[in-house]
Chain A
Amino acid sequence: MSSFKRKGKQALPSYSGTRVSPASNLSLITSTGISSLDDILGGGLPLSCSLVFAAPDIHSSYGELIEKYFVAQGLAVGHSICVVSEDPDGFMRDVMWFAKGQNTRNGNDSEEEYKSADQTQKVKIAWRYEKMKQFQTTTGDSDADSFCQVFELSSRVPEDLIEEALQIKRLHFVKVGSEDVSTAQILGKISSYIKTETSRPMRICIPGLGSAGWGDLGPQSVLHFLHSLRAILRRNAHGCASISLAPQLSTERWGGAGWMEKVGWASDGTMIVSGFSGR
């Protein structure tokens, strides 16, 4: 028998709604709730990482939509969630959910399900596209349980589910704007919530960072906040964060030359989501 021993894989904790990253067997990833976004990220958002979305279109709500998917996915797979917002309660009640009459649906619909859905609700589309398959990402889901849940935009999270999550401390709200809460205090609350709940991944969701309710935040404060949040996540490897900047913060005009690059350096990843209008 050989005396050489293979290095044992570092034992990673096992959380629902996560899987080992295909890029590194030392980290876990979790779905953002949007399968094509998971595709871009190489499978999903790694735990202990922060992702910032800049949506400069003032007439769109791309950033908030991405955050809602992030929260819906977390609720569906049993993660803890912390929402930091001017109106976290209102935000939560607007989060999408599964279509009525369904609990969970497999992310990759089988052909039979697709055909039956097609028969009952025939959508009028151009004849040349009728035979095309449904959109599929390159990240195949080989697990029996769906990694990325499929939500219905017209459905909303049941209120009793929100109340239950609040009661069992699986859902936390950090309200900004109504009280004189500083960014340091917000970070302190996030840190305490993430340290308290270690048995499941914690998703920090911050829709509209820098909006009116956050007060008079300058570029230095925003960068300090992002940098400190990243440090908190690195100390607590079971957490991850998705932050969307308010539209006015998502342009170079606001933060000065090189602003978006600075945001990129202060977080683990930055994406700019903008429409095609005017381009």
Chain B
Amino acid sequence: MTFFPPFNLPQGIFLLITDALASPADFVLHRCLSAHLKEISKTKSGVEVEAAAVSMAVAILSVSESMARWKGVAGKSNVNLQSHIEGGSVEVINVFEEAQPRNANGGRNGDEERLKGVIERLRVSLARGDPVGGRKGEGEGEVNETSPGMKLVILDDISMLEWVGFDTTDVVRFARALRSVCTKANATLLVRHHIVTPGEPDEVFRHLLQLCTYHLEVLPLASGRSGSVSGEVALHPGFSAPKDGAKLIPRSAALQYRLTDTGAEFFAKGTSESVL
């Protein structure tokens, strides 16, 4: 089973998404969320699920995106996010409500402990209930025998954690812990990181590259803004990418994309499909 066409990435991976201010990659997160919820709904409609077995399908670790925007964009894809939240299949964890960076005097407020709280909350959420087709009665901490990718975890902005005062080491450890929790739960992990110094990778980015399975790079057009093309997307392997994995797309052959009301349309560079 794959996700995010036309890249057709395998489930259960750690996908690092990088973007720039001129080409924000929030459309990738929204698209993956909507597609995953639609897939879950299709699966649930074919299998009887007991009323008590409410399983969490998506966990959104919210740092920068607003709930109104998540709901609004999901609505454009005919996904009622509010009902999924109320039904328990989507859980939104506000990272800043769970953790606060160091105080103004520079003293540590236990950054690592605060971010650990987010990990624990996520671990409990991932272990909650029964996924569709899984075994019943599993306790917390036991391996969840779901098929890979039935759960999706989205961290919409890891860069802001470092920028507002969390120590770089703690942010990296947080990412590592996220990876570990998601691997145990067979969940797909999406993490977005902003590149503000192109050509000079920052420390967090270097560590994320080591952890990720694939790196999806969303770039602005080198020639500036265009009304027909919003940007370019390239796919690179991470350190743990399998040899026979997804088809990689180097920067030289990056797919271009155009944002529309319903999402993004991808097309090969130099072609007129989706543009004309």
Task: Give Cα A2 to B157, complex, Å.
Answer: 45
Set of chain A residues within 8 Å of B21, measured between Cβ atoms: 261, 264-265
Interface of chain B, main secondary structure: loop
Asked whether any CB of chain A lies closer than 8 Å to the CB of B47, the reply is: no
Query: Is A261's CB under 8 angstroms from B196's CB?
Result: yes
CB contacts (< 8 Å) of A266 on chain B: these are 160, 163-164
Closest to B66 in A: A234
Instruction: Give the residue of A182, A219, A234, A265 whose beta carbon is less than 8 angstroms from that of B194.
Output: A265
Cβ A224 vs Cβ B165 within 8 A: yes
Q: Which of A48, A220, A228, A237 contacts B163 (CB 8 A)?
A: A220
Q: Once bound together, how far apart are the Cα atoms of A264 and B67, in whole Å?
A: 20
Bound-state CA distance A266–B96 (Å) is: 14
Contact between A257 and B196, CB atoms less than 8 A apart: yes
Instruction: Mark out the residues of chain B between 116 and 166 whose CB falls within 8 Å of any chain A CB in the assembled complex.
Output: 157, 159-160, 163-165
Query: Is B223 interfacial (CB-CB < 8 Å)?
Result: no
In the bound assembly, the distance between CA atoms of A182 and B103 in angstroms comes to 10
Q: Is the CB of A261 within 8 A of B194?
A: yes
B164 in contact with A227 (CB, 8 Å): yes
Q: What number of residue pairs across chains A and B have CB atoms under 8 A from each other?
A: 52
Question: What is the CB-to-nearest-CB distance from B206 to chain A, in angstroms, rounded to a whole number?
Answer: 15
From 220 to 262 in chain A, residues with beta carbon under 8 angstroms from any chain B beta carbon are 220-221, 223-224, 227-228, 231, 234, 237, 257-258, 261-262
Closest A residue to B72 by beta carbon equals A26
B1 CB within 8 Å of chain A: no
A12 interface hit (Cβ, 8 Å): no
Complex CA gap A262/B72 in Å reads 25
Do B196 and A227 touch across chains, with their CB atoms under 8 A apart?
no
- Is B66 in contact with A224, judged by CB distance below 8 angstroms? no
Which residues of A174-215 are within 8 A (CB) of B? 182-184
CB of B164 within 8 A of CB of A220, answer: yes
Contacts of B66 in A (CB 8 A): 234
Nearest CB in chain A: distance from B153 CB, A: 21
Cβ of B20: which chain A residues have Cβ within 8 Å of it? 261
Q: How far is the CA of A264 from the CA of B66 in the complex (A)?
A: 16
A221 touches B68 (CB 8 A): no
A227 lies within 8 A of B104 (CB): no
Count how many chain B residues have C-beta atoms less than 8 Å from C-beta atoms of the other chain.
20
Query: Which residue of chain A is the closest to B200 with respect to CB atoms?
Result: A257
Inter-chain contacts of B197 with A (CB < 8 A): 257-258
Instruction: Check B64 for interface membership: any CB of A closer than 8 A.
Output: yes
Name the distance in Å between A179's Cβ and chain B's nearest Cβ. 15
Give A28 to B196 CA distance when docked, in angstroms.
31
Q: Does B231 contact A (CB under 8 A)?
A: no
Q: Is B237 an interface residue (CB 8 A)?
A: no
Q: Closest CB-CB distance, A176 to chain B, in whole Å? A: 13
The distance from the CB of B99 to the nearest CB of chain A, in whole angstroms, is 12
**Known contacts A183-B104, A257-B196, A261-B194; is A227 also within 8 Å of B160 by CB?**
yes
Chain A residue numbers with a CB within 8 Å of B64 are 227, 265
Closest residue of chain A to B163 (Cβ to Cβ) is A223
Query: Cα distance A25–B96 when bound, in Å?
Result: 30
Contacts of B67 in A (CB 8 A): 234
Nearest-neighbour CB distance to chain B for A21, whole angstroms, equals: 12
A182→B20 CA distance, assembly (Å): 31
Q: Is B12 an interface residue (CB 8 A)?
A: no
Chain A proximity of B268: nearest CB distance (Å)? 29
Q: Which residues of A contact B160 (CB under 8 A)?
A: 223, 227, 265-266
- Give chain B residues whose Cβ lies under 8 Å from the Cβ of A220: 101, 163-165
Q: Indicate whether A182 sits within 8 Å of B68 (C-beta atoms), given known contacts A220-B164, A257-B196, A264-B21.
A: no
Write out, one digit per residue, whether chain A residues 51-63 have a CB within 8 A of any chain B CB (1) or not (0).
0000000000000
Residues 128-187 of A at the B interface (beta carbon under 8 Å): 182-184
Which residues in chain B, 173-226, are within 8 Å of chain A measured between CB atoms? 194, 196-197, 200
Contact of A231 among B96, B104, B157, B165 (CB under 8 A): B96
Residue of A nearest to B65 (CB): A234
Within 8 A of B (CB), among A1-48: 26, 48
16 A-B residue pairs with Cβ-Cβ distance under 8 Å, sorted by A, are A48-B68, A219-B163, A220-B101, A220-B163, A220-B164, A224-B101, A231-B96, A234-B68, A257-B196, A258-B196, A261-B20, A264-B21, A265-B64, A265-B157, A265-B159, A266-B160
Q: Which 9 A-B pairs have the closest CB atoms?
A: A258-B196, A224-B164, A261-B196, A220-B165, A234-B66, A258-B197, A264-B21, A257-B197, A223-B163
Partner-B contacts on A (CB < 8 A) = 26, 48, 182-184, 219-221, 223-224, 227-228, 231, 234, 237, 257-258, 261-262, 264-266
Additional A-B contact list (4), CB under 8 Å, known A221-B104, A224-B165? A224-B101, A227-B160, A261-B194, A261-B196
